[in-house]
């Protein structure tokens, strides 16, 4: 499986006509997402997706459906998530898939499913498109974690339908998609009850599940559909989404891959395998933004901020899944500072509009995906760059940034500058709930207020360095050597140590449910996925379903 994962490219681009595992239907203010996993439709050979269990391919479709519901169906205020299988909701991540997967594949799979569940929660909280889960059969592991991402859980009370998180007793691993965190942080399940629940293979059903806050409601199976529809209508009635506005089609994303070059309309990525570097150049907009809100709607998926968000998102996912050994992402930008600022102004001026809100949220999700991608991030700010506002976030997300002081000898371009816009002050919070500027200046909150007064000002290398917005400002004489040495030194370090170091340093300040999932939980799961108790010859994950008993090393570490 590890060889397969490295040889076959994963494509994250899909659309409803290509879905194998989900059915999406919309009826006025209520939509339904039905999980009906095709057993022989796995992304890789060697396993069957029985009992509505899932692999990465199933979740790629789910993420696409969530995106389309937000952009293409503004009239939808509530989404019912349920199963199309008779008497089974979801058995969670496919165990045989996990057993056959490399360590890196398992970790990236869990990361993407986490991001997808977070997108559901963001849709509820920010897009006012609430999710309701109808549990119509046994719901275990990742299946229950999917339910936990929803705003309301209704379960059939039929004597056999249960919810369970059986990973610890069955597989010697953790629920990998935020289950532990959502139990206590989101649903406020009492710790002792959560402890018992997470060590119970068979799960909990009926009224006890309600009393313990594991679900919100249980109803007889004969009344499940009726109750779900009524609750969904109530949820939709509380939404502020427009009832009759036309949606914006998320048209297919053009992309070409030629050798080590990946190209989109606004992004070019060149992979240097000898150095382990991906050089990513983002092209700023070629024209001013549409002059009116109506024109922005008419532009749809071609509106530059939405287009660049979708392209960056796809590139990040492609590199994460298909280029594991490319550990350093170097960002550059090219284009007009004024045009980027003008597009940011459009995003601010029309922030109350449903579509602009979705575009801003899409950009936020994409930048968050960059933050948690377990790659070293460098930014190179040179003459001709347009690290302004939204694109400046790429440099603020970097572990290290270099800004050329002045121009190159004989160069005709003006010196590089940075420009802040209002979008840098809270529009794109990180998983810790803070803006990248606030995270940068944890001990100097007043610095952020000072920078807010410099919105629209062109900051050259010296001013940007004094403002704390860049790391180093070498001149033309030292530029090539400093950048080269910085990247070469980074590439020489242990990727494992870098992943741990970067994750620890990027998210200072307050802890949120989301930061716990991506730091504490991910770190533990990453470690446990390598332990013999889980993946050794007699480990629980390895012998699951064989009839053999797992053998544990009883020493606590």
**What are the pLDDT digits (tens) for 201-243?**
999 999 999 999 999 999 999 999 999 999 999 999 999 999 9
In Å, the largest CA–CA distance within the chain is 79
Domain positions in the chain are: 2-237, 265-506
The pLDDT, as a whole number, for residue 176 is 83
Give the per-residue SS3 of 447-496: HHHHHHCCCCCEECHHHHHHCCCCCECCEHHHHHHHHHHHHHHHHHCCHH
The pLDDT, as a whole number, for residue 437 is 98
> In whole angstroms, what is the distance from residue 317 CA to residue 330 CA?
16
* β partners of residue 458: 419
What is the per-residue pLDDT across 272-315, written as a single tens digit (0 to 9) for each? Answer: 999 999 999 999 999 999 999 999 999 999 999 999 999 999 99
The pLDDT, as a whole number, for residue 135 is 98
Please tell me whether residue 54 adopts helix, strand or coil conformation: strand
- Helix (H) or strand (E) holding 542, with range, is helix 540-543
Helices (H) and strands (E) in the chain, counts: 24, 18
* β partners of residue 272: 277
Q: Which two tokens stand for residue 538?
A: 């007699």
User: Smallest Cα–Cα separation from 438: which of 498, 390, 481, 396?
Assistant: 396
Beta strands in 85-181 (DSSP E): 130-135, 139-140, 152-156, 162-164
Would you list the DSSP string of 3-51?
Answer: HHHHHSPP-----GGG-SSEEEEEETTEEEEEE---TT--SSSS---GG
What is the per-residue pLDDT across 482-520, written as a single tens digit (0 to 9) for each? Answer: 999 999 999 999 999 999 899 889 988 999 999 988 877
Kindly tell me if the per-residue pLDDT of 557 is higher than 90.
no
Radius of gyration over every alpha carbon of the chain, rounded to an integer in angstroms: 24
Confidence of residue 256 (pLDDT cuts 50, 70, 90): very high
Which CATH architecture best describes the domain 2-237?
A: Alpha-Beta Complex (3.90)
> In whole angstroms, what is the distance from residue 220 CA to residue 229 CA?
14
> In whole angstroms, what is the distance from residue 395 CA to residue 399 CA?
8
> In whole angstroms, what is the distance from residue 38 CA to residue 29 CA?
28
The pLDDT, as a whole number, for residue 4 is 44
What is the per-residue pLDDT across 358-408, written as a single tens digit (0 to 9) for each? Answer: 999 999 999 999 999 999 999 999 999 999 999 999 999 999 999 999 998
CATH hierarchy code of domain 265-506: 3.90.226.10
Kindly tell me if the per-residue pLDDT of 526 is higher than 90.
no
Kindly tell me if the per-residue pLDDT of 6 is higher than 60.
no
What is the per-residue pLDDT across 445-490, written as a single tens digit (0 to 9) for each? Answer: 899 999 999 999 999 999 999 999 999 999 999 999 999 999 999 9
The mean predicted confidence, pLDDT, of the chain is 95
The pLDDT, as a whole number, for residue 7 is 63
Q: In Å, how far from its chain's centre is CA 293?
A: 28
Burial-class residue 309 by CB neighbours within 10 Å (0-12, 13-18, 19+): buried
Assign residue 428 a region (left: φ > 0; alpha: ψ between -120 and 50; beta: otherwise).
Answer: beta
* β partners of residue 78: 30, 130
Confidence of residue 154 (pLDDT cuts 50, 70, 90): very high
Please tell me whether residue 513 adopts helix, strand or coil conformation: helix
Q: Which two tokens stand for residue 426?
A: 């809270």
**Residue 391: half-sphere exposure toward Cβ, Cα within 13 Å:** 34
- Helix (H) or strand (E) holding 277, with range, is strand 277-283
Query: Which segments of 274-391 does DSSP mark as H helices, in order?
Result: 293-299, 304-322, 337-349, 354-371
> In whole angstroms, what is the distance from residue 158 CA to residue 457 CA?
65
Q: Is there a common fold for 2-237 and 265-506?
A: yes
Kindly tell me if the per-residue pLDDT of 5 is higher than 90.
no
> In whole angstroms, what is the distance from residue 186 CA to residue 250 CA?
31
What is the per-residue pLDDT across 18-75, written as a single tens digit (0 to 9) for each? Answer: 999 999 999 999 999 999 999 999 999 999 999 999 999 999 999 999 999 999 999 9
- Between 103 and 266, residue with greater pLDDT: 266
- Residue corresponding to tokens 């390598």: 530
User: Smallest Cα–Cα separation from 108: which of 96, 97, 124, 123?
Assistant: 97
Q: Which two tokens stand for residue 354?
A: 């449903």
What is the per-residue pLDDT across 98-119, written as a single tens digit (0 to 9) for each? Answer: 999 999 899 899 999 999 999 9
């Amino acid at each position: 499986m590890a060889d397969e994962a490295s040889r076959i490219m994963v494509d994250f681009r899909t659309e409803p006509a290509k879905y194998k595992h989900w059915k999406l239907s919309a009826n006025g203010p209520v939509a339904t997402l039905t999980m009906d996993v095709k057993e022989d439709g796995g992304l890789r050979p060697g396993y069957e997706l029985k009992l509505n269990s899932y692999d990465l391919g199933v979740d790629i479709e789910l993420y696409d459906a969530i995106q389309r519901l937000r952009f293409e169906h503004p009239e939808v205020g509530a989404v019912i998530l349920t199963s199309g299988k008779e008497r089974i909701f979801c058995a969670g991540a496919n165990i045989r898939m996990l057993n056959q997967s490399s360590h890196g594949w398992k970790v990236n799979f869990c990361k993407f499913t986490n991001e997808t569940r977070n997108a559901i929660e963001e849709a509820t909280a920010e897009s006012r498109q609430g999710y309701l889960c109808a549990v119509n059969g046994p719901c275990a592991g990742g299946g229950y974690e999917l339910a936990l991402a929803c705003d309301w859980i209704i379960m059939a009370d039929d004597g056999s339908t249960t919810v369970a998180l059986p990973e610890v007793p069955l597989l010697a691993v953790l629920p990998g998609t935020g289950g532990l965190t959502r139990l206590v942080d989101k649903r406020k399940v009492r710790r002792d009850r959560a402890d018992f629940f997470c060590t119970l293979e068979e799960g909990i059903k009926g009224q006890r599940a309600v009393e313990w806050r594991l679900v919100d409601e249980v109803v007889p199976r004969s009344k499940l559909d009726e109750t779900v529809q009524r609750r969904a209508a109530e949820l939709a009635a509380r939404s502020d989404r427009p009832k009759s506005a036309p949606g914006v089609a998320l048209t297919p994303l053009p992309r070409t891959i030629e050798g080590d070059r990946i190209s989109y309309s606004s992004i070019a990525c060149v992979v240097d395998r000898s150095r382990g570097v991906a050089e990513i150049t983002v092209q700023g907009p070629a024209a001013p933004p549409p002059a009116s809100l109506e024109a922005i709607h008419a532009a749809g998926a071609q509106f530059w901020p939405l287009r660049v968000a979708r392209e960056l998102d796809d590139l990040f996912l492609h590199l994460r899944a298909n280029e594991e050994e490319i550990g350093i992402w170097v960002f550059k930008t090219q284009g007009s500072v004024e045009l980027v600022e003008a597009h940011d102004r459009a995003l601010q001026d029309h922030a109350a509009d449903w579509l602009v809100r979705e575009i801003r949220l899409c950009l936020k999700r994409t930048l968050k995906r960059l933050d948690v991608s377990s790659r070293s991030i460098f930014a190179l700010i040179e003459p001709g760059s347009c690290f302004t506002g939204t694109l400046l976030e790429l440099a603020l997300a970097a572990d290290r940034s270099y800004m050329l002081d002045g121009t190159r000898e004989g160069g005709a371009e003006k010196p590089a500058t940075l420009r802040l816009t209002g979008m840098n002050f809270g529009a794109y919070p990180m998983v810790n709930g803070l803006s990248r500027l606030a995270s940068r200046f944890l001990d100097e909150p007043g610095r952020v207020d000072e920078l807010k007064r410099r919105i629209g000002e062109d900051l050259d290398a010296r001013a940007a360095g004094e403002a704390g917005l860049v790391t180093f400002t070498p001149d033309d004489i030292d530029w090539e050597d400093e950048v080269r040495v910085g990247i070469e030194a980074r590439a020489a370090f242990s990727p494992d140590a870098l992943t741990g170091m970067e994750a620890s340093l990027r998210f200072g300040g307050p802890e949120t449910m989301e930061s716990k999932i991506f730091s504490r939980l991910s770190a533990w799961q990453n470690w446990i996925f390598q332990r013999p108790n889980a993946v050794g010859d007699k480990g629980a994950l390895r012998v699951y379903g064989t009839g053999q008993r797992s053998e544990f090393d009883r020493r606590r570490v």
